[in-house]
Each structure stands twice: as structure tokens, then as C-alpha cells.
Amino acid sequence: MNSGLWARLGWKAGLASLGVLMLAVPAPSPARTSRADRELEARLRAHIEILASDDFDGREPGTEGEARTLRYLGRQWYDIGLVSGTNDPGNEWFAPVTLVAREPAAESAQFLRKGFRTPIAPADMIVLTSGKRSLVRNAPLLFVGRASGLEFTRNELAGRIAVVLDGDASDSKRQNELLAHGASAVLTVLDGERNIAEVAARRQRSGYALANDALGGDLEAFISRNSMESLLKGTAHSLDALEAAAAKPDFAPITLDVTASLEATTRETTIHTHNLIGKLPGRHPEAGAVLFVAHWDHFGECGESTAEDRICNGAIDNASGVAALTEVARRLVRGPQMDRDIYFLATTAEELGLLGAHAFAENPPLPLDRIVAAFNIDSDAIAPRGTHFAIVGRGMTGLDADIGKVVKAEGFKLRDNDDANEYVRRQDGWALLQHDIPTVMVTTAYGDMDRMRTFFDTDYHRPSDDLAHLAHSLELGGEVEDVKVLTALGRWFADPRKVPLRIAQ
């Protein structure tokens, strides 16, 4: 950890000096719940109230909000009885993660039609890269319509700018595939509902990456329909004719009588942030480990500049997740020592592209093949008590059968469908799966997909995901049951007799 953050945390003065003022705990839940459940719900609510308060300013990585978040969680974990899980004496508890933020700086586009320069109005064109600088000179335009890179050989695309039709496709999957298969750049013709202003608003914000990621070389451009029509005037093709050809089943790529030179550059900002890693030591760490994960970060001040409330507090996403993570740790510490180590990971930069999870996997505190199972916790305060559990990542690991046994033994029900996998790519578990760590979410939050979709359509990533707005609707009944099941899963998978390492892998 850098010395400035150490100083702000006050860690050198000792964890005992990290004073944290606990906010008032609300009235207990109805009498039908047990006293232990009411106490757990009160602790969860208190964590959320603190982490989602305006004092934490939206928990943005690299800010004072991060320092306050790490100070709070570090104190909680230390007091519970965890030890540092970084396994790095130089960076106890906090594993440094360096990010690079890039935003568009400059761009240029020049077109030659049959060897003659054809100007395009700057307002009708945008050129973007994720690297510091990307450039392609005098490359021929190859019209590929609505095809993806998977439909071409590298030789067909190499050295060419692939021209695609936008239509209703607003994601970049096709563009990324074309670039990955050798296209020098991709030029998207906005022939659907999108326009240049909408693309600029979406794509000219900062992009983030780990500092050691090799970015660059990707070059994407967007052009309005009218400008593309003008660009093709006097050539053998019109845009109407190209669109008609692209709709035919026997469509083949068409080389256009146009070449282009495209260039884009970005400005870079370095952000120093941290993962928090705690550990509950087991009797036989050589037998492997279990990992629990939740991201601590959110967006900071992300509301409209004219809005009265600009702070995106992230009460549900994901103060509720780190609250559950902390309470799972508390319950596991209070029980008998387990055979396997259990690691607790609070990741940074999940909201910026699952980057903290990737950083953990690229520089792990233990060999990744020793992790028997990992359980991610995200946006937990959604479902009421009694909601069925769901597995996000169902069918993608070898964990499902054991999870089913534990959920049943705890007296709960598990949905037997894959509906929750709709969101599998949108959480840290997806990043860990890419590194062959068997990771799932086991939660009631995705047991009621209508409730989850309502959250995504309303408060998700907005200033309204805060306690002032959610005070009377924050649902912790399901989260209490999540903590119980996750605790039981921790004990089950920490037992080599129940889950031998060779079977878990």
C-alpha cells in the first residue's frame, strides 16, 4: 500500500486506533424470526448504513472514499479474528492494484475515393481506441454487412478496415470479433436507431484496465448513414445496394472503392487502489482453500451535475455484499477450526470491469489450483425471507451437487433452472471463472428474477441505491438466509472428507 493511503488509514498506528462510529440499528424484525436472526439482520443493516453513507462518497477506487472503506472493513475483519490473507509481509491485508484510466484525446479520419480525398464532417464521424495511440494508413474498406469475425479467415480481414452495419446492434461483440480475427479497424455505419451523439456519449467516457494489461491496437470508428452515402457516391456501390446484398443468404464481403487513414489517441490517468484479503487459517492448508468474494467499490459521484443528489452510494450494490461477506467470516470464526484455509476477498474495481478480481487471479496469495470453491456475493439485499436460492454459474463448475446437498440440509429450497445465468458475466465470479477458479453465486437475490430485474431497471447504478431511498424497502430477510447457507457452504467445502481436492478440481 502506498504511504499516503497508509497514513490516511492510520494503519501504522495500529488497528485498534481505527475508530468506527456504528450508526443506530433499526428496530428488530417481526417476532416470528429468532433472536439470532434479528441480531444478524441488525448487523447487516448497520454495515450497509455505514458503507453506503455519504461519508464514504460512493466508495470510488483511489479516493478518500476507498480509504474510509478499507479502514472500516479492515477494523471489522481484524476484530472478528481474521488474519492477513495476502501472504505478503510487504503488503499485509491490502494487495495493491494499479489501474489505468484512458479517455479519448484526439482523433482523425481521412478518406480517399478512387484516389481523391473525400472530406467527412467531424460531427458525422468518431474514431476511438483503448490504447495510447492507434493508427492505420491507406487501408482498403471491406464491407462485411452484419457478419462477425468468426465468419472470415485472418487473410480475408488482414490489412483491411471492416465496414459493418449497425442496425439494432448496440454492443461491440461483432466489432471485437472482427478485430480479433485480423481487421486493422472496424467502421460501423449507423444505419439503425443510434446516432453519432449517442455513440459519443456512451463511448467517450473513461475506459479502465489493469496497468500491466497490454492494450492498444484496436481501432473503432463510427460514421453516420448520410456521410457513408456521400462517401460512396461515384463508386460502384451505394449504401442501399450494400444493405440489400448483406440481407441475402449468399452474401460475400465486398471490397469498396475507398481507402481510409484513421487515428485515435487517449489520455491516461493512473489509479492506485487495493484488494482487501483476510484469512481464517485451517489445520491443513495443504489440503486447499475456500474463497469468499464481494466487491467493495462503487462509482463515487456519478449523478447528473445538476442533480441534488450526485453520490452513487451503492447500498445494495454492493454494501450489502461486503456486509454479508463480513458476517459469514464472523460466523465461521466462532465455530471450530476447519481443515482448509478460508480466504475472504473484498475486491476493488468490479464496477470498472471486474478488474480487482482479475488482479487477484493474476497475482494470487496461493496457487489457484488449490482453491476448492469460490463463492461471490453481490447485490444481496433484494429478496425476502423464504425465497428460493439460485446458483449464478449453474452448470459451469463441479460444485452444483454439493451446493444442493448443503442448501437442502439447511432447510432451504434451490431452483433447478439456469435463469440466474443471465447475469453470470456481470459479476466477479465471471472473472475468476476465466482463470479456472470454480466460482458461483449462491443467493436468494437471484431466486426471484422479477425482483432482480426491477432493481436493475430502477435503482441499479443510480444515486437512488442509497439508504435514504431504500430505508423502508431494503430487504434483508433473504440476506440473512444467504449468510446462513454461505456459512454452511464454507464448512462443507473446507472439509476434505466431504470434498477431496482432486474431486473439487
225 shares a domain with 164: yes
Q: Is the dihedral of CA 253, 160, 224, 258 positive or negative?
A: negative
Could you list the beta-strand ranges (E) of 348-445.
371-376, 390-392, 439-443
- 383-421 b/e (C-beta count within 10 Å ≥ 16 → b): bebebbbbbbbbebbebbebbeebbeeeebebbeeeebb
CA-closest candidate to residue 356, choices 365, 346, 366 = 346
Residue 279 predicted with pLDDT over 70: yes
pLDDT-derived band of residue 391, with 50, 70 and 90 as boundaries?
Answer: very high
Task: Report yes or no: 493 and 499 within 8 Å, Cβ to Cβ.
Answer: yes
In whole angstroms, what is the distance from residue 93 CA to residue 111 CA?
A: 54
First-to-final CA distance of the chain: 33
368 shares a domain with 287: yes
Split into its structural domains, the chain has a count of 2
Amino acid letter, residue 21: L
pLDDT-derived band of residue 8, with 50, 70 and 90 as boundaries?
Answer: very low
Are β-strands 161-165 and 133-145 bridged in parallel, bridged antiparallel, or unpaired? parallel
Average pLDDT of span 244-256: 93
459 shares a domain with 411: yes
The mean pLDDT of the chain is 89
Average pLDDT of span 226-239: 95
In whole angstroms, what is the distance from residue 372 CA to residue 368 CA?
A: 9
In whole angstroms, what is the distance from residue 448 CA to residue 484 CA?
A: 18
pLDDT-derived band of residue 22, with 50, 70 and 90 as boundaries?
Answer: very low
pLDDT in tens, 187-203: 999 998 889 998 888 77
158 shares a domain with 59: no
Which has the higher per-residue pLDDT, 3 or 71?
71
CA-closest candidate to residue 294, choices 137, 428, 149, 421 = 428
pLDDT of res. 474: 82
5 found inside a domain: no
pLDDT of res. 305: 62
3-state DSSP assignment of residue 56: helix
Residue 11 predicted with pLDDT over 80: no
Average pLDDT of span 266-280: 96
CA-closest candidate to residue 53, choices 471, 472, 454 = 471
323 shares a domain with 300: yes
Q: What is the dihedral of CA 324, 330, 333, 335, to 10 degrees?
A: -90
- H or E stretch covering 5: helix 3-9
422 found inside a domain: yes
What's the DSSP call for residue 188? Answer: E
In whole angstroms, what is the distance from residue 484 CA to residue 492 CA?
A: 12
Locate cell 459519443: which residue?
200
**Residue 383's domain spans which residues?**
33-98+272-504
Residue 90 predicted with pLDDT over 50: yes
Which has the higher per-residue pLDDT, 151 or 284?
284
Residue 378 predicted with pLDDT over 90: yes
Which residues are CB-neighbours of 470 under 8 A, at least 6 positions away? 315, 316, 459, 464
Residue 111 predicted with pLDDT over 80: yes
Output the domain CATH number for residue 200: 3.50.30.30
455 shares a domain with 334: yes
- 107 CB burial (10 A radius; 0-12, 13-18, 19+): buried
pLDDT of res. 303: 59
* % of the chain with per-residue pLDDT over 70: 89
Among 251, 268, 285, residue at a domain's last position: 268
pLDDT of res. 400: 98
Locate cell 456519449: which residue?
201
Q: Beta partners for 270?
A: 100
Residue 124 predicted with pLDDT over 60: yes
**Number of C-beta neighbours around residue 57 at 10 A:** 20
In whole angstroms, what is the distance from residue 38 CA to residue 78 CA?
A: 24
pLDDT of res. 32: 63
Among 268, 285, 308, residue at a domain's last position: 268
Q: Is the dihedral of CA 15, 20, 26, 27 positive or negative?
A: positive
pLDDT of res. 164: 95
385 shares a domain with 320: yes
382 found inside a domain: yes
**Number of C-beta neighbours around residue 336 at 10 A:** 7
Task: Report yes or no: 242 and 145 within 8 Å, Cβ to Cβ.
Answer: yes
C-alpha grid cell for residue 57? 462518497
C-alpha grid cell for residue 252? 460475400
| Radius of gyration for the chain, computed over Cα atoms and rounded to the nearest angstrom | 26
Q: Alpha helices of 267-383 — where are they, by DSSP H?
A: 320-334, 355-362
Lowest pLDDT segment from 49-58, 399-408, 472-481: 472-481
pLDDT in tens, 408-459: 999 999 999 999 999 999 999 999 999 999 999 999 999 999 999 999 999 9
CA-closest candidate to residue 389, choices 370, 362, 368, 408 = 408
In whole angstroms, what is the distance from residue 344 CA to residue 349 CA?
A: 16
Q: Alpha helices of 145-298 — where are they, by DSSP H?
A: 154-157, 173-180, 196-203, 225-232, 239-246
pLDDT-derived band of residue 370, with 50, 70 and 90 as boundaries?
Answer: very high
Output the domain CATH number for residue 418: 3.40.630.10
pLDDT of res. 302: 80
65 found inside a domain: yes
Which has the higher per-residue pLDDT, 154 or 354?
354
192 shares a domain with 150: yes
pLDDT of res. 217: 62
Task: Report yes or no: 166 and 175 within 8 Å, Cβ to Cβ.
Answer: no
Which has the higher per-residue pLDDT, 262 or 25?
262
Task: Report yes or no: 403 and 332 within 8 Å, Cβ to Cβ.
Answer: no
